[in-house]
C-alpha cells in the first residue's frame, strides 16, 4: 500500500506542471471551469493530464481529495 503523503504540489508534479506555491496560485488564478464542465474535461488540460485525472477519480485514488480541492478552487 502506498502511504506517500500527497498535497497540491505533488498533484501538480503528477500533472507535469510547475509545483511551486507561486505557480500553483497563478494557475488557479488564471484558469476557470464553468459549472457544467467536469474538471477532467476542462480545455486547458493535455490528453495525458485528462487521462490522469479521469483514472485517479475513477479509482478513487489517493489523489481524489486533492483533485476535488483543485476542482473547487477553479470554479469561481
Distance between CA atoms of 33 and 31, rounded to whole angstroms?
7
Model confidence at 4, pLDDT cuts 50, 70, 90, reads low
What is the CA angle 10-70-25, rounded to 5? 75
What is the CA angle 52-13-4, rounded to 5? 85
Question: How many CB atoms are located within 10 Å of the residue 1 CB?
Answer: 3
Contact 64, 56 (CB under 8 A): yes
- Would you say residue 5 has pLDDT above 80? no
Tell me the mean pLDDT in the region 7-12.
Answer: 95
- Would you say residue 15 has pLDDT above 60? yes
Contact 50, 41 (CB under 8 A): yes
pLDDT by residue (tens digit) across 29-68?
Answer: 999 999 999 999 999 999 999 999 999 999 988 999 999 9
Reported pTM: 0.88
Amino acid at each position: 500500500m502506498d502511504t506517500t503523503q500527497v498535497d497540491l504540489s505533488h498533484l501538480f508534479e503528477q500533472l507535469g506542471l510547475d509545483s511551486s506555491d507561486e505557480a500553483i496560485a497563478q494557475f488557479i488564478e488564471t484558469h476557470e471551469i464553468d459549472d457544467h464542465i467536469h474538471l477532467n474535461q476542462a480545455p486547458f488540460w493535455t490528453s495525458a493530464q485528462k487521462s490522469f485525472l479521469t483514472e485517479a477519480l475513477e479509482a478513487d485514488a489517493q489523489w481524489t481529495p486533492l483533485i476535488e480541492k483543485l476542482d473547487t478552487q477553479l470554479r469561481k
